[in-house]
A and B are shown apart, each in its own frame.
Chain A
């Protein structure tokens, strides 16, 4: 291949790097690339700040009287109970959650998560019609996020860099935002149900135009876990509140011609000792 080759010579003349501007020595861009090479940035301090802020939020929550009863012991109105539960749930630092998504064939996708602030470890299961939980087809299927790093079951030794702004908000934060968005809508108290062995009051939200509009105004990262990109499709929205927290949130949507989509998230183990660690 040392002889002249008109085809490759012609190709050489089309080298895209010839026409693109190389960062010139002495330019800011050139210096920045060298700086990034020699001093990779650390997110440690930022992560620490986030955790301190989250811890401070928990302290504030701990001293607040935020049960479904007011300071004088009277029962809060449904709207007030929803608002307070939204605040309290959204501020929780550690908790666990089960996210169930109806596949429409009698089975469900279950995402079981442990949360510490924005750090989360999720495991994926299939739930059969008889309630049997099965792990992913290839064994333990998980995602873990710590700060801006993400690990998946496919490559547990190769963390990805994922900007937190590209991720879904934590389910508790999303649920809190959804409940807060609809707290001004008509609410019906449907009585007390058992949620994971504890009493929780079941509220059904009567979605009016204003509530749907507020749901539509939520940031994408707070809507997408529940796929609320089209609030007009929502058929029902139910919230269960116990001990001042959102214990369960269920959203049912109707898509034509795909059929209905049901998503339910349950929260438990608030304040548990949870630390999310890298896999392995």
Chain B
């Protein structure tokens, strides 16, 4: 694959990768750039076109997870005398992204869910992924995705109503709790 061909690939998939990142971080440009950097390095070893979309989203997902871990470590470094007292960016978190837009009570309810629930609902409602695609990205069976999505939806509805879902109560958010981790 030469530069011209890679540019065409970039043009075709950029919008979806950027939006996927934007739903999860304020640094979507960086995540998109890093995602396509991985693709460029592996341009001779990329999956076939049918699988490329999910491969790119999976790569973006790993980069987002690394970004959160790195930010967490940087914050720990900051506390350990070594790093100067200069403000660092806070940990990106989908809940924070949606919290910025809490004018709608549905977003406020979404922000109260666990990271795993949020990721499932965001994948479905915002990324527009099918259950099969979600199963591929999360490395679980489609049946497991369907079941978890059903429960997550119930908890979202309960949170919107201001009541707890009957099972698997919403747990309080912890730092670094934003990774999907639906397994």
Seen from chain A, the residues whose Cβ lies within 8 Å of a Cβ on chain B are 1, 5, 7-12, 14-17, 20, 22-23, 25, 29-30, 32-34, 36-38, 40, 101, 109, 111, 122, 124, 143, 150, 152, 154-155, 158, 160-162, 165-169, 220-221, 223-225, 229
Contact B157 A101 (CB under 8 A): no
CB-CB nearest in chain A for B145: A1
CB-CB nearest in chain A for B35: A37
> Complex formed: what's the CA distance from A101 to B124 in Å?
52
B69: A residues at CB distance < 8 A: 155, 158
Q: What 1/0 mask marks residues of chain B from 70 to 97 whose CB sits below 8 Å from any chain A CB?
A: 1001101100111111101000000001
Contact A220 B39 (CB under 8 A): no
The 3 closest A-B pairs by CB, nearest first: A37-B36, A221-B84, A17-B19
Indicate whether B66 reaches chain A with its CB closer than 8 angstroms: yes
Seen from chain B, the residues whose Cβ lies within 8 Å of a Cβ on chain A are 3, 6-7, 10-11, 14-15, 18-19, 22-23, 28-29, 32-37, 39-40, 66, 69-70, 73-74, 76-77, 80-86, 88, 97-98, 100-101, 104, 106-107, 110, 121, 124-126, 128, 131, 146, 149-150, 153, 156-157, 160
Q: Among the listed A25, A30, A162, A223, which residue makes an inter-chain contact with B74, where contact means beta carbons less than 8 Å apart?
A: A162
Contact B14 A168 (CB under 8 A): no
Contact A14 B85 (CB under 8 A): no
B146: A residues at CB distance < 8 A: 1
The number of inter-chain residue pairs (CB within 8 angstroms) is 137
B83: A residues at CB distance < 8 A: 162, 166-168
> Complex formed: what's the CA distance from A109 to B81 in Å?
11
Contact B101 A16 (CB under 8 A): yes
A16: B residues at CB distance < 8 A: 22-23, 97-98, 100-101, 126
CB-CB nearest in chain B for A263: B81
B32: A residues at CB distance < 8 A: 33
A38: B residues at CB distance < 8 A: 3, 6, 36-37, 40
Q: Among the listed A10, A33, A37, A165, which residue makes an inter-chain contact with B86, where contact means beta carbons less than 8 Å apart?
A: A165
Contact A33 B14 (CB under 8 A): yes
B34: A residues at CB distance < 8 A: 37
B70: A residues at CB distance < 8 A: 158, 160-161
Contact B125 A8 (CB under 8 A): yes
Contact A7 B86 (CB under 8 A): no
With A1-B124, A8-B121 as known contacts, state yes or no: A14 contacts B104, CB within 8 Å. Answer: yes
Q: List 6 A-B contacts (CB under 8 A).
A: A11-B121, A20-B28, A22-B19, A143-B82, A166-B88, A225-B81
Closest chain A CB from B68 CB (angstroms):
12
> Complex formed: what's the CA distance from A101 to B81 in Å?
10
Closest chain A CB from B181 CB (angstroms):
18
Contact B82 A25 (CB under 8 A): no
Contact B82 A40 (CB under 8 A): no
Contact A224 B84 (CB under 8 A): yes
A165: B residues at CB distance < 8 A: 84, 86
> Complex formed: what's the CA distance from A165 to B11 in Å?
35
B131: A residues at CB distance < 8 A: 1
Contact A37 B39 (CB under 8 A): yes
CB-CB nearest in chain B for A34: B10
Contact B23 A17 (CB under 8 A): yes
> Complex formed: what's the CA distance from A14 to B101 in Å?
9
Closest chain A CB from B85 CB (angstroms):
5
Contact B84 A220 (CB under 8 A): yes
